[in-house]
């Protein structure tokens, strides 16, 4: 094969389809619509997370076709393939939620597997839910071929400005007696009006914004309604953009640099984004070979304020931010203030600063994004805590509305279900620190989100009177005084495994500490008596995950080098 520019764009697909020795390969591809002309074109794999099991992804089949059309129109050959997705909103509070974080790894594995096998020269990945977005990025990073990520887009608000979290909190209000079944059913029937990802600055919109700030999406991709002309155009443009990236040999490793990850963290903080961004950004950085740690979130958080008044702690939804310009004006403001690295390369082939050069500011009368000098919170809401309960770190989302310090008596549970039952029946009372352990990456296994218990706490009116700590994690929709990702996790003998009912626990989100009022000697005595529980699964994907997954403090990835 000669080394012409076109040959270089086809360095992977040529191995599959060029020459008489690949006649069988071409015969197979002819049966799915390839022509002689197509064999000479760069192949662009379109990784679609479509399924009709969740509104987040129910429209992505059309978006995948649009992306394929864009690749075809730019001189390539689009080839659509699917990967899986699960629904956190459906699985939350059940045993099935243990598969959620696991699905991130399965998605990354499957994209790597298909593209590596089929010889795609470049890729578009389209995601629309919490885990499939970082999973897509991890797959693209492993392959390191010219690639663009497309966000499936946000859902519109339900009746009465409701969303999925409104339903979870209605369930808590019902258990308290503040809402009847008819009222709960009315919210249930109207809160999710159609396709798109959950409507607040929850994990999906957080990760979409982070990926755009990282430079792996086209400008504006993170802030578009799922069902819109803009989103369809975004997909077509993404397919075409891959051909330009192939021409210039720009790969994810050229874009996903240390400075680009710092940009992503900055935007997540400014937006008041989900704690899951900590886990996912560390995992994505690990996959591309960039050093990123919990300490980086603390360092950046000292200089970046929270300026967005977005749910779950604020008032507005993503669709309302879309209506005033999305995140581009915010990024321009952050860049002008010296808080972003403008020289980072992006999938447009231009730098971040070049992409933002002509972005107009927000309308003067908007109330969603505060000025940098009058922020919602002067420092980051994402607090990385350390102490004798979390020697390797824990992650809290403290907006300040909950207060910044909580001290109370431990009420200890060995599973989410056990805790949920005791919240609902009134056992958990004001002044308690709810401890949910053995829910970490290995112990769960799968590090379930605690949206159901946190929503029940809020629904029962205890949001400012009860704290919750766990070696599991939280939905982006969780709010209240909550601390997750406690490491080492209880299953590995972390201090969380040693806590007993009545122990005094203090969480300080200004000093960034989390401690149990026990002497070192008492902790040593309890550790000597502790025994690791038997694994909950011994076969299947959850068992494999538990054997291979790393700590939450390193991203809970399954492919760390030996």
Answer left, alpha or beta for residue 215, where phi above 0 means left and psi between -120 and 50 means alpha: left
What does the radius of gyration of the chain's CA atoms come to, in whole angstroms? Answer: 23
DSSP 350: S
Contacts of 471 (CB under 8 A, 6+ apart): 436, 437, 438, 439, 440, 443, 447, 484, 485, 486, 487, 489, 490, 491, 494, 496, 552
Report the DSSP pairing between strands 122-127 and 405-413: unpaired
CA distances from 46 to 76, 80, 475 (A): 12, 5, 28
Residues for the chain: how many in total?
Answer: 562
The C-alpha atoms of residue 520 and residue 220 are separated, in whole angstroms, by: 52
100 is catalytic: no
The span from the CA of 217 to the CA of 238, in Å, is 8
Catalytic residue among 221, 274, 475, 551: 475
Cβ-contact 372, 305 below 8 angstroms: yes
For Cα atoms 105, 108, 109, give the angle at the middle one, nearest 5 degrees.
Answer: 85
Phi, psi of 57 (to 5 degrees): -125, 5
Cα 218 to the center of its chain, rounded Å: 18
Q: Which residues 6+ apart lie within 8 Å of 467 measured at CB? A: 406, 408, 432, 433, 434, 480, 481, 482, 483, 505, 507
What is the distance, to the nearest Å, from the Cα of residue 177 to the centroid of all Cα atoms in its chain? Answer: 34
Q: Has 131 been labeled as part of a binding site?
A: yes
Task: Report the C-alpha gap between 277 and 330 in whole angstroms.
Answer: 18
SS3 225: strand
56 is in an annotated binding site: yes
Residues paired with 79 in a beta bridge = 45
Return all residues near 312 (Cβ < 8 A) that are at least 6 apart.
165, 200, 201, 202, 476, 477, 478, 479
Let me know: does 179 contact 185? Beta carbons within 8 Å: no
Nearest C-alpha neighbor of 472 from the set 544, 558, 414, 405? 414
CA distances from 423 to 225, 426, 468 (A): 36, 5, 11
Closest by CA position to 353, among listed 369, 371, 338, 370: 338
Q: Is 337 helix (H, G, I), strand (E, B) or coil?
A: coil
Does 130 carry a binding-site annotation? yes
Map 365-378 to HEC letters: CCCCECCCCCCCEC
State yes or no: 449 annotated in a binding site.
yes
Beta strands in 437-500 (DSSP E): 467-470, 481-487
Give the residue numbers of the binding site for Mg(2+). Answer: 88, 130-131, 449
Give the residue numbers of the binding site for [2Fe-2S] cluster. Answer: 56
Q: Please identify every residue annotated as catalytic.
A: 475
């Amino acid at each position: 094969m000669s080394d012409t520019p076109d040959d270089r764009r086809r360095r992977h697909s040529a191995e599959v389809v060029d020459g008489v020795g690949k006649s069988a390969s071409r015969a197979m591809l002819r049966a799915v619509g390839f022509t002689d002309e197509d064999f000479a074109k760069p192949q662009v794999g379109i990784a679609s997370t479509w399924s009709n099991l969740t509104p987040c992804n129910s429209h992505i089949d059309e978006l995948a076709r649009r992306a394929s059309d864009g690749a075809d129109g730019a001189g390539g050959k689009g080839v659509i393939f699917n990967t899986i997705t699960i629904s956190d909103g459906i699985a939350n509070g059940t045993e099935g939620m243990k598969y959620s974080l696991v699905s991130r790894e399965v998605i990354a594995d499957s994209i790597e597997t298909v593209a590596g096998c089929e010889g795609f020269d470049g890729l578009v990945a389209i995601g629309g839910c919490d885990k499939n977005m970082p999973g897509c990025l991890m797959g693209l990073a492993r392959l390191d071929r010219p690639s663009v990520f497309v966000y499936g887009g946000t859902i519109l608000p339900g009746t009465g400005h409701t969303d999925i979290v409104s339903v979870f909190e209605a369930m808590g209000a019902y258990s308290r007696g503040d809402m009847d079944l008819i009222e709960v059913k009315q919210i249930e029937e109207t809160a999710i009006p159609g396709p798109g990802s959950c409507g607040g600055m929850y994990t999906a919109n957080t990760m979409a914004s982070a990926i755009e700030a990282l430079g792996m999406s086209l400008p504006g991709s993170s802030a578009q309604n799922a069902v819109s002309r803009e989103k369809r155009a975004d997909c077509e443009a993404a397919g075409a953009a891959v051909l330009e990236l192939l021409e210039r040999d720009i790969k994810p490793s050229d874009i996903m640099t240390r400075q680009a990850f710092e940009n992503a963290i900055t935007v997540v903080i400014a937006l008041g984004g989900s704690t899951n961004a900590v886990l996912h950004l560390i995992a994505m950085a690990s996959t591309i070979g960039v050093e990123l740690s919990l300490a980086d979130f603390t360092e950046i958080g000292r200089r970046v304020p929270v300026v967005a008044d977005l749910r779950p702690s604020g008032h507005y939804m993503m669709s309302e931010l879309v209506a005033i310009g999305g995140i581009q004006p915010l990024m321009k403001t952050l860049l002008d203030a010296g808080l972003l690295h403008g020289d980072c390369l992006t999938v447009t082939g231009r730098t971040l600063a070049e992409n933002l050069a002509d972005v107009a500011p927000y309308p003067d009368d908007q109330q969603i994004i505060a000025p940098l000098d009058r922020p919602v919170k002067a420092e980051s809401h994402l607090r990385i805590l350390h102490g004798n309960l979390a020697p390797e770190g824990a992650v809290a989302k403290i907006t300040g509305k909950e207060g910044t310090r909580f001290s109370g008596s431990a009420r200890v549970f060995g599973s989410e279900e056990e805790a949920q039952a005791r919240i609902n029946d009134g056992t958990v009372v004001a002044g308690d620190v709810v401890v949910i352990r053995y829910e970490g990456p290995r112990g769960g296994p799968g590090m379930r989100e605690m949206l159901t218990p946190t929503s029940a706490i809020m629904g029962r009116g205890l949001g400012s009177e009860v704290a919750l700590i766990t070696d599991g994690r939280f939905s982006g929709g969780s709010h209240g005084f909550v601390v997750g990702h406690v490491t080492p996790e209880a299953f590995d003998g972390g201090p969380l495994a040693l806590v007993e009912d009545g122990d005094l626990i203090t969480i300080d989100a200004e000093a960034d500490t989390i401690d149990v009022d026990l002497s070192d000697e008492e902790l040593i005595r309890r550790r000597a008596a502790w025994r690791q529980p038997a694994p909950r699964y011994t076969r299947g994907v959850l068992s494999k995950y538990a054997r291979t997954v790393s700590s939450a403090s390193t991203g809970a990835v399954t492919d760390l080098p030996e």
